[in-house]
Structure 1
Amino acid sequence: MIKYIGYLLVAIFCAGPVFGQAPKQKPNIVVILADDMGFSDIGCFGSEISTPNIDRLAREGLKMTQFYNAGRCCPSRAALLTGLYPHQAGVGDMVKYKGSPAYQGYLNEHSATIAELLKDEAGYNTIVSGKWHVGLQQSALAYNRGFDKSFTMLNNGSSYFNSAPLYNDGSKITFMLNDKAISRSDTSKYLTQAITDFAIKSLNEIKDQQKPFFMYVAYNAPHWPIQALPQDIAKFKGQYLKGWDVLRKQRYKKQLATGIVKKQWQLSVRDKRAPAWDSLSPDEKDKWDTRMAIYAAMVYRMDACIGEIMSKLKQLGKDKNTIVLFASDNGGSADEVKSLATVIQKNGSPGSVNSIDSYEIPWANLSNTPFKLFKRNTHEGGIATPLIARYPGHIKAGTTNSNTFHLIDLMPTCLELAGVTYPALFKNRRLTTLAGTSLINVFKGKAASGNETLFWEHEGSRAIRKGRWKLVAEPKQPWELYDLEADRSETKDLATKYRAKVIKLEKEYLAWANKVGVVDWETIKNL
C-alpha cells in the first residue's frame, strides 16, 4: 500500500500541467506589437515571408482570427495600454491637441496603463522597449506611466540606422532612455535589434528574479521608411517578381487551407488605385519587387528578434510561466512617403539609410489579404490584426478562435492573470471604467462569446460591429452595411437592402460616439 501511494505521488508531481488550470504563481507577461503590419504578413496567417518564431508561438499556442486594433498607431497603443477606447484615454487621433479632451493627444489622468496597475497592485517588474507614441507631455511618458525601465521612441517614425532628422517640419524623433532624451547615433545598430537588445538587457538586470515581470516590446517594423539589413533584403530580392495579383491569390488560398478565413469570404478585388501587375514594364516590376523585398526583410528581422527574446526567456528559466501576446497596431499602410512634404526625401540605395520610401497601395493591398483598404480606414483591412497567444500549460497548443476581441481586451486580461482588480481610484485619479473584457476564458478553452459590440472612429472613418453585422463609412461617405459572418471581406454592401438595420446600428454608434467624446473630424482636422 505504501509503495502504491509513493507511485501515485510521483505520478501526480511529474504530471504535466492541466489546460485551463489556474497558475500557482503570477505569470510573466510579454506583449509584442508590430507596427503597420498587415493581417496576412506572417506565415501562419498566409504569408510567404519566413516568420518561423512567430509561427512557432502560434503552433504552441492560440491564433485569434477575428481580433481587432484601433486602425492607427496612437489610438491602438492607447487602447492596448489602458483597456479604454482611444477617445476615453485622450488619444482619439494622434499626438497633437485637437481642441477637446478626447483628442488632447496624450494619455489622460483618467486612464492607467497595464504597467502602472501591475507594478503598484501586484509588485511586477515593468519594462518597455520600442515605439511609445501616446503623448509628448511628461505625464504621458513611459517612466511616468509605470515602467521601471524604458527605451522609447516618442514619435511615429525614424530611420532604422540612425537618429538623424526624418522630418523637415521642425519636429524631431526623440528617443528616451528612462527619463533622459538620447541620440541613437550608432549606425551599426539596426533599430529592430536595438529594441530587442534593450528588452533582453532589461530582463538580465531584474534584481529580484522571484518577482514577475510585464514587458511591452513595441517594434517600429515594418513602418516606413522601408529600410533593412542588406543580407536580409538579399533573401527576398526577386521573390516578388510574380506580382501582387498572384501573391494575393496565393495568400488567400493558404488562409483558406489553414482556417484563417472562411470559404464564404471572397478575396476582395485589387484596389482600383493599384495597376494590374502584368501591365507594368520590366523596370517597374523590378522597382516594386525591391520595395516588397525590403518590407519582407523588415518582418523577417523582427521575427528573428522575437526568437532572441524567446531564447532569453528559456535561458532564464522563465519561458514556462510566461504568456506571450503578439499583435499589430493596424493594417498595412497605403502611405506614399515620397509625396509627404513633411518628410526629408532621400533617394539613395533602396533599403539603406540614404533612402526614404514606402511600399505603397499595391503591396499594402497584399499585406491586408483578403480584406480591402488600409491603415487609417475602419474597413477590415485597416483594423484586423492577427492575435497570437502562447502560455504553456494554460493555452492548448495549435488552437484557433474566431470570436471577436480587441486591443482594449488586453488590459483586463493582464489584470486577471495577475489577480488584480481594476480600481475606481488610482493615485488620486478617478479612472474611466474599462471598455474591454478578459480573454481568460478563451485561453482556457471555455465558451466565450467575445465582444458583442465594438466601435471605431479615426479621422472621420467610423464603424460599429454588432454580432455578425458591421456598419462602416469613410470620411464624408454614406454608411455601408456588411454581414461579416457571410462576407468579412466586405464585398457586398447591404445598406440599401436592410435600411432598418442601418438606422438601428447608426443610433447605437452615435450614442457611443457621444459617450466617448467623438467630434466631427471636419471641424477639428485643421487644428
Structure 2
Amino acid sequence: MYKIVLRFFVFSLYLYSLLSPVAVFADADAPNIVIILADDMGWNDVGYHGSEIRTPHIDQLAADGLQLDRFYAQSTCTPTRAALMTGKSPQSLGIYSPLSKLNPKGLPPTEKLMPEYLREVGYQSFLVGKWHLGFRESAYQPLARGFDHFYGHLTGGIGYWDHVHGGGLDWQRNGKTLREDGYSTHLMTAEIDRLIKLRDRSKPMFLYAAFNAPHLPNEAPEETIAQYESIANPNRRIHAAMVGELDAAIGALIKTLDEQGMLENTLIWFMSDNGGLNSSAMPAPMVRVSGILQNWLGAPLPITFLEFMRTNTLDSASDNSPYRKGKQSIYEGGVRVPSFLYWKGKFKPGLNTQMITVQDVLPTILSAAGIQVLSPQSNLQGVDQWLNLTAGIVSKPRDYLVNGFDGEALYRFPWKLLALSSGEFELYRLDKDPEEFTDVSENHPDIVAELQLALEAYPRRESIHIPVWRAAMDMDFFGGKEDRIPWSEIEYQ
C-alpha cells in the first residue's frame, strides 16, 4: 500500500511539472539579465554600422560581444514590447500598432510576462523607462506584471525635459507622480545606478532599461548638440545628440555593473524597438502636404492634427540605410534593427547571421537563466536561440508576421512576402537581396501562393485598439503643455 501511495505521489508531481509553465528553477549561479531597449533607433544610427553618430560605448560592447545581423522587431513600439515581454506574436494578442493614451485596454493581464517567469525562480526585477503596454487599469501596469520597481513613463513618447505626453505629465516612481527637473535620459541613468547599488545582493537581478531615446521630440542638451555641428541637417544633428546621450547612459550602466563586481555574470541584450523614424516610411502625399503647410505657416502648425502629422513626417531624422523605409513600414528599414548580446567571457566576439526575432528573446533569456518552460500551455511562439548563440546549433526560424501602416509581411526565411495595403503582393529573397531591390513574385508564383496561405492562417486576435478617428481627436503629442491630470493618477479619477 505504501509503495502504491508513493508511486501515485511521484506520478502526481510529474503531471504537475508538465502542467506548470515553469518546472525547473534557475541555476544557483544564474546570471543577472539586462535588456537595453532603444526607442526608434535606425540601423545606421550606431557607430559600428558606419554611422556618423559617435557611439563608443555601444560600439565596444558590440565589438566584444555577439552582433545579431538579422534581428527583427515589429515596425512600431507597442507590438515589439508585447512580443519582448511574452515571447508571442503581438497579432495573437490583439496588438497591431502603438497604444493610444486613450486606449482602455492593454497587454492582456492573462499573459505571463518575462519578470513573472523570473520572479518564480528568485529574480528581482526593475523597469526603468518606457512601458507603453497599457495603464488605464492597475492590472495593466508594470507593478502588476512582475516588476518589483518601476521608474519612468507609462505612455509613448514624452518630452525629454517636461516629461509630458498628450497633455498629461507622465513621470512616476512606483505609481506616484514625480515632478523632477532634468533630461529624461540623465534621470533614468541615475535611477539605474541607484537601483543596482541598492539591490538585494542575495538575488539575481533583471533590469529592463527601456530608454525613450532617440524617439521624438528632437531635444538634447545644447552642449551635446554642439558636438555635431558638422551635421548640416538640424534635425539629424539633434537626433545624433540624443543617440549620444543614450550611449553615455549605457556607458554609465556598464561602469556601475563593473564597480559592483557584476559585469562578469551579467547577460546584456541590446536592441531597438523598431526601425528609425524618417520621412521615407511616410506616404508621399503626407510628406508633400506637410512640407507645403510648413512653408506656408511655419512650425508648429496651428491645427493640432496637422502639427502631429508634420512633426512625425518632417522632424524625424533616423537613418536606416542600406535598408528601405523605416518605422511604421513592413520593409526592412522598419523592422531590421541593431542588436547584440554581451556577456563578458561567455560570448566570443563575432557576427551571427541567423534570423532571430524579438519573440525569441523571452525563451532565450529563460534558457540562459537555466529556466525550462516545459508546458505546452505556455504557448510561446518564439524560439529558444540559446544553443544557436552559444554553440552555433541553428534553430529553424518560425514564420514571423509584422504589421505596418503599409500592410503586413510574412517571413519564412529566406523568403519574405509583403501584402501591401494597395492589395498588391511582393516577394523578396532576403539572403540574396537584403535591400529588397528586386520583387521576384512573378518568378515564384508557387512560393507566393504558399506564403499567402500561411499569411491567412497566421493566428490573430481581435484588435484591442480604439478607432483611429478617436485617437486623432486627442493626439498623443510628445511634450508640451499640461491640460489634464498626470497619467499615473488617471485610473483613480
Same fold judged by TM-score > 0.5?
A: yes
**Corresponding residue for residue 135 of structure 1:** 134
Please, what TM-score do these two structures have when normalized by structure 1?
0.75
Q: How far 1:384 moved relative to its partner?
A: 0.5
Please, what TM-score do these two structures have when normalized by structure 2?
0.80
What SS does the aligned partner of 2:337 have? strand
Q: How far 1:92 moved relative to its partner?
A: 2.6
What letter corresponds to residue 191 of structure 1 in structure 2?
Answer: S
User: Which 10-residue stretch deviates more, 449-458 or 376-385?
Assistant: 449-458
Say whether residues 1:156 and 2:166 are aligned partners: no
The answer (yes or no) to whether the contact 2:409–2:417 under 8 Å persists in 1 is: yes
* Percent identity (aligned): 31
What letter corresponds to residue 197 of structure 2 in structure 1?
Answer: N
Output one character per residue of 1:179-199: Cα deviation in whole Å (capped at 9) or x when no partner. 22x14341xx11111111111
**Corresponding residue for residue 443 of structure 2:** 497
Output one character per residue of 1:484-512: Cα deviation in whole Å (capped at 9) or x when no partner. 11111111111222222211111101100
**Corresponding residue for residue 196 of structure 1:** 189
What SS does the aligned partner of 2:168 have? coil
What SS does the aligned partner of 2:68 have? strand
Q: How far 1:422 moved relative to its partner?
A: 3.0
Output one character per residue of 1:369-416: Cα deviation in whole Å (capped at 9) or x when no partner. 0011111111101000111100122211x2001100111111101111
**Corresponding residue for residue 123 of structure 1:** 122
**Corresponding residue for residue 476 of structure 1:** 422
The answer (yes or no) to whether the contact 1:131–1:219 under 8 Å persists in 2 is: yes
Equivalent in 404, 407, 418 of residue 369 of structure 2: 418
Say whether residues 1:113 and 2:113 are aligned partners: yes
The answer (yes or no) to whether the contact 1:394–1:443 under 8 Å persists in 2 is: no
Output one character per residue of 1:124-145: Cα deviation in whole Å (capped at 9) or x when no partner. 0110100100112311111111
The answer (yes or no) to whether the contact 2:93–2:461 under 8 Å persists in 1 is: no
Q: How far 1:88 moved relative to its partner?
A: 2.6
Q: How many residues align?
A: 426
Distance in 1 between residues matched to 2:64 and 2:121, nearest whole Å? 27
Distance in 2 between residues matched to 1:78 and 1:240, nearest whole Å? 35
Distance in 1 between residues matched to 2:101 and 2:253, nearest whole Å? 36
Distance in 2 between residues matched to 1:58 and 1:210, nearest whole Å? 30
What SS does the aligned partner of 2:408 have? strand
**Corresponding residue for residue 382 of structure 1:** 334
The 5 A counterparts of 1:143-292 are 143-163=143-163, 165-167=164-166, 171-180=167-176, 182-186=177-181, 189-206=182-199, 208-237=200-229, 239-241=230-232, 289-292=233-236
**Corresponding residue for residue 370 of structure 1:** 322
Distance in 2 between residues matched to 1:191 and 1:459, nearest whole Å? 29
**Corresponding residue for residue 380 of structure 2:** 434
User: Which 10-residue stretch deviates more, 298-307 or 171-180?
Assistant: 171-180
Give the aligned CA root-mean-square deviation in angstroms.
3.1
**Corresponding residue for residue 297 of structure 1:** 241
Output one character per residue of 1:271-328: Cα deviation in whole Å (capped at 9) or x when no partner. xxxxxxxxxxxxxxxxxx2211100000011000100000000010000000111000
Distance in 2 between residues matched to 1:359 and 1:107, nearest whole Å? 25
**Corresponding residue for residue 509 of structure 1:** 455
What letter corresponds to residue 334 of structure 1 in structure 2?
Answer: N
Q: How far 1:90 moved relative to its partner?
A: 3.9
What letter corresponds to residue 446 of structure 1 in structure 2?
Answer: G
Equivalent in 61, 74, 81 of residue 77 of structure 1: 81
Distance in 1 between residues matched to 2:315 and 2:185, nearest whole Å? 25
What SS does the aligned partner of 1:382 have? helix
Q: Which has the higher contact order (CA 8 A, sep 6+)?
A: 2
Change in 2 beyond 3 A, CA 1:387/1:451: same
What letter corresponds to residue 422 of structure 2 in structure 1?
Answer: K
Distance in 1 between residues matched to 2:460 and 2:194, nearest whole Å? 39
The answer (yes or no) to whether the contact 2:257–2:263 under 8 Å persists in 1 is: yes
What letter corresponds to residue 85 of structure 1 in structure 2?
Answer: S
**Corresponding residue for residue 406 of structure 1:** 357
What letter corresponds to residue 214 of structure 1 in structure 2?
Answer: F
What SS does the aligned partner of 2:354 have? coil
